[in-house]
Amino acid sequence: MKQFIEIFRFELGYWFRGWMIFIFVGIMTLLFWGASYSDNVQLGGAVENTNRNAPLVIQNYFAISSVLTLLMTTAFASSAATRDFASKTNQLVYSTPLNKWSYLWGRYLGCSVAAMTPMLGISLGVLIASSMTDNDPAQWGPNRLSPHLMGFLLFAVPNTLLASAVIFAVASWTRSSTVAFVAAICLLVGYGFSQSLLDDLDNEKIAMMADPLGTTAFSVQTRYWTITERNSMTLGPTGILLYNRLLWVAMGGLAFAAGGLGFRFKERAKAGKKPVDDGASTASMPAKTERPKVKIDESGAGRFATIRAQFGIDFGETIRSRVFLILMAVAILNVLAALFTGAGEGFGNSSLPVTYNVIEIVRGTTLLFAISIVTFYSGVLVWKEREAKLDEVYDAMPYPTWTTYVAKFGVMLAIVLLVQLVNAMSGILYQTTQDYSRYQIGQYAFELILMDVLLLMWLVFLSMLCHVLSPNKYVGYFAFIVVLIGNEYLWFALDVPSIMVNYATTPSYVYSDFIGFGPYLQSLGWFAAYWTLVGTLLGVLTVLFWQRGKENHYARRFSAAGRRLSAPLLGFAGLVALALTSCGGWIFYNTHVLNTVRSSNEQKDLTADYEKTYRQYVDLNQPRITNVRYEIDLYPESRSISFRGQQTIENKSLEAIDQVHFSFDTSFDHTIDVPGSTLTTDDNRLGYRIFDLDSPMLPGESREMSFEVAYSPKGFEQSTSMMQIMTNGSFFNNQLAPQIGYQPDAELSVRSDRRKREMGEPNRMAELHADCGLYCSNTYLSNNSDWVDVETIISTSEDQIAIAPGSLVNEWTEDGRRYFHYKVDHPSVNFYSFMSARYEVKRDEVLGIDLEVYYHPEHHWNVDKMVNSMRKSLDYYSKNFGPYRHNQARIIEFPRWASFAQAFPGTMPYSEGIGFIADLEGEDSIDMVFYVVAHEMAHQWWAHQVIGARVEGATLLSETLAQYSALMVMEREYGRDMMRKFLRYEMDRYLRSRGSDALREEPLATVDARQGYVHYRKGSVVLYYLKEMIGEDKVNAALRELVQKFAYKDPPYPTSLDLIAALRRQVPDDKQYLLTDLFEQITLFDNRAIAATYQETEDGKYEVTLEFETKKLVADSEGEESEVEMDDYVEVGAFAKPETGRRYGKTLYRESMRLTQGKHTHTFVTEELPDEVGVDPFALLIDRVGDDNSKRPRSK
Amino acid sequence: MELVVENLAKTYPNGVRALKGISLTIPTGMYGLLGPNGAGKSTFMRILATLQDADQGSAKLGEIDILKQPHELRRVLGYLPQEFGVYPKTSAERMLHHLAVLKGISNSGERKELVAGLLHRVNLYDHRKKNLTGYSGGMRQRFGIAQALLGDPKLLIVDEPTAGLDPGERNRFYNLLAELGEQTIVILSTHIVQDVKELCTRMAIINVGDLLFDGSPEEAESALAGKIWAKSITKSDLESYQDRHRVISTKLVGGRPLIHVYSDQDVGDGFESVAPDLEDVFFSKIHAVA
């Protein structure tokens, strides 16, 4: 024990006497001070209504730092475990009568305690930030001890103990700190693997246990936390998190014990080989020989030979080393695991392994790994000769320093290339295993081999410089990581949007099969050249400061650098600098002069100014558009457009109008012509124009006006914008046109953004009233039109098809361009899309309506399914809701710069990135394509026939009803079980999003248009439940009534109250309470099964007894719950064991009972053996703990 | 060709004055640099091998200013550091080839011949395919010499080459060195007096940064002729002898201390005159008695 204490104290003292621990504490403090203080750095979920020092946020800081814990522990533990061998004190220490276990435990615990110390920096950082005086007080709550304590005890302590044990074990076996590094990387891979398991809800529990760092369990257990809970509660050691922590600390213990058993104090014999000695037999030296005359070759070829030799030996040694092979094996496993588990597309579904997705997954899992390899090997190579004690031999050789640099740089490049090649091969291998043979090798080459190798090369430049300037390898590693983090972080914090200062950063881009990389090549190319030149200069610096000889004092190295700066080197550096200046200048000219780069704060300032200056006009009486004729000329090759419109505007009000106002997007050139008017305000910064009418527009009067919107790209941008106008696959809508009046939709909605700009609470949608008067005269999509007639002539290049709303009237070719003339068949909402690309078209017909799918010729996989969904949807909706008013329904694919589908009248643009690539082969998989198409088709009724007024709850009438409609079509196609699976995801997404809502959670009746998680996710769950309770016919009857009353009708537009009223007329008296619970308040249940038993009866049936508890809660807008009296219908049910390969078993029993809150016992009889018995067994009610509703019954 | 060192001085950042202004002229042949541990030998050698900078003074090999033209010197330099490692899994032949390329011998035919010649020369040819990690200390040092000889150096610097070698290995190593001294300037640093005596035509003694002696070993010995007196004493008397005489060395012979004393006259007291050897020179210089 004494020995142990002494070793432990010595170890601890060793670290606290050094600098490393303090630097680590400093870094952590700085990092988390920045994270909690800066608005621009978002880490750990302090969004909006969650305080910056909310307990959950702090605990989450500890959780996400686990990866850093791993890195730091590696530094401490690998040194502690191998120090005696490395510094050759082993013979001293090990010859003492020391107990092996005292020695190991002392070392292990000592270095573990040291290694967990830097985590205190998290607390320190947050505390410092919380005491800053310029904080926004609304974002800071009281400082509490418990989250710090729990964060430290649940993450810092166990993770350090685990990592340190593993590293200790590996290092004591192998006596190599390098192999220990590899062990640490393996832990990291385990973490990454468990993350990728999470995609599928069914894997959740496995993922929670499998994560060695415990963060997965933590995030799953806290995901449904509401705002109030996030701000006040700390997660203690409970549930799976507790088991996870115990498991992994135990695993650490096992690893440590195994390592300890293998540990020997003895010096290990070198693989059983005795050193050779030629001994006395060669005692005499050979006769004197002539010393051969040699020529020292200093020509270019000689230099090349030197470089090649150095490269050969360094590269050969690296790739033959066991460590490298292990690393590569880990890399491949990691990538393949990620590919096989991670190719998800939501709802636990897979997409086809299209190359861009595969590359994305490969990058996601390996880029960090590749950066680690760069970090690791650049250190190894820079310090190689010195570590092998060959530096004096080498340094006295007559080769110039730059050859060494070039050789080692080449080795790094070769390693990186090798890693990336392996990654690309893994991707291709994966595609092959999936029977997918559209490999798109060019894409692999461009992204994984060219762009990523360039990025890694720039990092090599930086990393080697860091090592050359550092006094030892570890400082070098550390310096590089600090510089990397600083580079990622600093520019955000300083709100510098230009990536020209952000080392090794290139413009972001989105590949699409429509456009390839074409539109991005220019900016990517210039930035690649720019960073390569910057890197080359770093390379020159590295050569200058390369340590040659034993002189490591900085003043000396400076003067050595001066001496080394020979004329040719200076000339080279000068040339590079000149090229860099030109290249940088050109980039600056293109990105900052021809185009603009705005930080998100500058963008928000503009938005704020727009609101501050022009919100005064929000209720100004304005004319409304009744008819538009578009003439659009699109030039895909140059990404240019001329978008002209002639529109009729009408004063539909009872008062005269003497001004017309326009808001417009300043990225386009706008010409607006209002005949008989004077332009009095022309604000091109904020995009606002006011025309004073020479003679006021009288009530009922119509006038003609026109506009032209033009765009053509100038030079290249930092990140390519205006994705709507593309070389192939243009997709834009009529909101390109100047909009009449002030447009409130763009206003800042995040509270802290507004407070910082002294703007008060966000403007919400108008309050919901039974009699909404003026507010009901606008739809939530438009404040300047009702139902309009539209006609379009659109031209594009000869090889593309352009699509505008309505029926195709005429099509012709003129001057090598293709023209299309479309006309809408029925006046519709003024919300239209225009598209143009080289399309393949699939046509079909149902009920006299043309069905068309326009798609990329290679994306044929799911087109038939889309047509099927259109058919089934049209059929169901026209039967149940009312007639479809267009002569066609079109699905049109657009490039994947956005991943959504959207419904315009008769037209549904659908992203390349979803649906078209869904893999629907799985038995059990939810047909995403079918669902999305059904949803968009439903919008042809819900939004395009019946559209909500511009008041709260408007999206209940469009999005929620579209979800309901889609669910009904899906249920017919795929059956009940599929709905259970689908709704489980919907429930999960609803509950998960509540805590991070930037607004305040609203019930469905008053949902804000920005609260998608309410109107889609909760909407699905709630309406499906209502349908289960009162029946599909009744719900549809109410919806039919809504269509009859409001479809294509002039204002006032309907509100959510109209829907609820229509439903009320259908709901029987005893269930009227449902409408209040489901639509008017946030109702939750906390039901659970307590015990379930069964007994076989004499006639071969089963008598089942279920004991359960019910509880009903109402939550406020921050999630604060209070229990309420309950007198509700609740279901009890039983299922048989699922057949193999099936998720759900047959329903054996289902009974709805009216119950109060509290404990209940219910006994019933089933025909077959029950496998699962429970309350609310289909999980139809919103319940934050859904998995305790059912139990497997025990035999009595 | 001569190596001329003038007033060479070096102080480390921690304040240690490793060289305090040393001036020397070193001709072709074996030159021994003698001094106790910490005398500044290695610093001196490394400066000459371009691996460290001097604060002041100059060092010139013929026309080459070592301090200002390190690259030019490296072309004619062979250097065997006091301690050097080897790469794992690398044979002597492979490593020698590699170093030859670094030395600038890019013609592979020439290189092959050179490497083979050198391996023969240091008697490692039979073991050329073996990994260096498996070599004994003596073999490793011979390999070290082979690499230092790559490129036909005019200046060969060997720093403490015999440390850790057994007597047989040492002898063999000396044979090799002796042969080299015929055409080249060979500077050999050591703290073992015997080495210098056996090998060197000229020598220098340095201690704590100062040059104490520069000349031939014979000169040094003859300068002490008749001034060294020896006596075998009992251990308990040692202190009293040290008070009375200028004791320059004490060593045990058959378990009894044998002391050497420096004196111009017969010291009597049972002392006998002995012929001075290099060890006496060394100790008398170090103890600043002569």
Contact B52 A285 (CB under 8 A): no
Q: What pLDDT, on the 0 to 100 scale, is given for residue B84?
A: 87
Q: What pLDDT, on the 0 to 100 scale, is given for residue B193?
A: 83
Around A748, how many Cα atoms within 13 Å sit in the side-chain half-sphere? 26
Q: Residue A282 pLDDT more than 50?
A: no
Q: Which residues, other chains included, contact A963 with Cβ-Cβ below 8 Å and sequence gap of 6+?
A: A935, A938, A1015, A1016, A1019, A1020, A1023
CA distance B204 to B26: 10
Q: Confidence band (pLDDT; 50, 70, 90) for A94?
A: low
Q: What's the mean per-residue pLDDT of chain A?
A: 88
Nearest one of A570, A504, A499 to A535, comparing CA atoms? A504
Mean pLDDT of A534-545: 95
Contact B105 A295 (CB under 8 A): yes
Q: Is B85 within 8 Å of A390 (Cβ atoms)?
A: yes
Contacts of A394 in chain B (CB under 8 A): 99, 102
Contact B139 A296 (CB under 8 A): no
Q: Considering only alpha carbons, which residue of chain B is nearest residue A396?
A: B74
Mean pLDDT of A411-439: 91
Q: What pLDDT, on the 0 to 100 scale, is given for residue A273?
A: 52
**DSSP class of residue A1054?**
P
Q: Residue A1183 pLDDT more than 80?
A: yes
Around A672, how many Cα atoms within 13 Å sit in the side-chain half-sphere? 27
Contacts of B115 in chain A (CB under 8 A): none
Q: What pLDDT, on the 0 to 100 scale, is given for residue A86?
A: 66
Higher-pLDDT residue of A692, B169: A692
Q: What pLDDT, on the 0 to 100 scale, is given for residue A280?
A: 45
Q: What pLDDT, on the 0 to 100 scale, is given for residue A1144?
A: 86
Q: Residue A345 pLDDT more than 60?
A: no
Contacts of B85 in chain A (CB under 8 A): 387-390
Q: Confidence band (pLDDT; 50, 70, 90) for A348?
A: low
Nearest one of B242, B249, B252, B255 to B276, comparing CA atoms? B249
CA distance A450 to A119: 38
Interface check for B273 against chain A (CB to CB < 8 A): the answer is no
Q: Residue A869 pLDDT more than 50?
A: yes
Interface check for B102 against chain A (CB to CB < 8 A): the answer is yes
Q: What pLDDT, on the 0 to 100 scale, is given for residue A1167?
A: 92
Contact B87 A270 (CB under 8 A): no
Higher-pLDDT residue of A877, A749: A877
SS3 assignment, position A1185: coil
User: What are A1183's two structure tokens?
Assistant: 């319940």
Q: What pLDDT, on the 0 to 100 scale, is given for residue A294?
A: 72
Higher-pLDDT residue of B60, B252: B60
Interface check for B116 against chain A (CB to CB < 8 A): the answer is no
Chains A and B form CB pairs within 8 A to the count of: 159
Q: What percent of chain A has pLDDT over 90?
A: 55
Note the ipTM here.
0.90
Nearest 10 degrees: Cα torsion B187, B189, B190, B194: 20
CA distance A657 to B73: 93
List, in sequence order, the alpha helices (H) in A38-156.
55-64, 66-86, 90-94, 100-116, 120-130, 146-151
Contacts of A393 in chain B (CB under 8 A): 79-81, 84, 99, 144, 147
Mean pLDDT of A202-207: 81
Q: What pLDDT, on the 0 to 100 scale, is given for residue B136?
A: 84
Nearest CB partner across the interface for A396, out of B79, B138, B183: B79
Cβ neighbours around A87 below 10 Å, total: 11
Higher-pLDDT residue of B213, A19: B213
Pairing mode, if any, of strands A849-855 and A888-894? parallel
Higher-pLDDT residue of A1184, A690: A690
User: What are A1029's two structure tokens?
Assistant: 């309770």
Q: Residue A269 pLDDT more than 60?
A: no
Q: Confidence band (pLDDT; 50, 70, 90) for A110?
A: very high
Mean pLDDT of A719-742: 92
Interface check for A393 against chain B (CB to CB < 8 A): the answer is yes
Interface check for B90 against chain A (CB to CB < 8 A): the answer is yes
Q: What pLDDT, on the 0 to 100 scale, is given for residue A608?
A: 94
Q: What pLDDT, on the 0 to 100 scale, is given for residue B3?
A: 93
Give A739: exposed, middle or buried? Use CB within 10 Å, 0-12, 13-18, 19+.
buried
Mean pLDDT of B99-124: 87
Cβ neighbours around A650 below 10 Å, total: 18
Containing H/E element for A1121? strand A1121-1124
Mean pLDDT of A1166-1188: 91
Q: Residue A1094 pLDDT more than 80?
A: yes
CA A1037 to chain centroid, in Å, comes to 41
Least trusted range by pLDDT, from A52-56, A94-98, A795-799, A1109-1113: A94-98
Q: How far is B204 from chain A (nearest CA, A)?
A: 24
The model carries a pTM of 0.85
Mean pLDDT of A277-290: 53
Q: Amino acid letter at A1087?
A: N
Q: What pLDDT, on the 0 to 100 scale, is given for residue A199?
A: 66
Q: What pLDDT, on the 0 to 100 scale, is given for residue A956?
A: 95
Q: How far is A14 from chain B (nearest CA, A)?
A: 23
Contact B50 A289 (CB under 8 A): no
Mean pLDDT of A37-42: 65
Nearest CB partner across the interface for A297, out of B107, B113, B152: B107
Q: Is A1136 within 8 Å of A1171 (Cβ atoms)?
A: yes
Least trusted range by pLDDT, from A195-209, A1071-1085, B256-270: A195-209
User: What are A740's two structure tokens?
Assistant: 């009449």
Interface check for B9 against chain A (CB to CB < 8 A): the answer is no
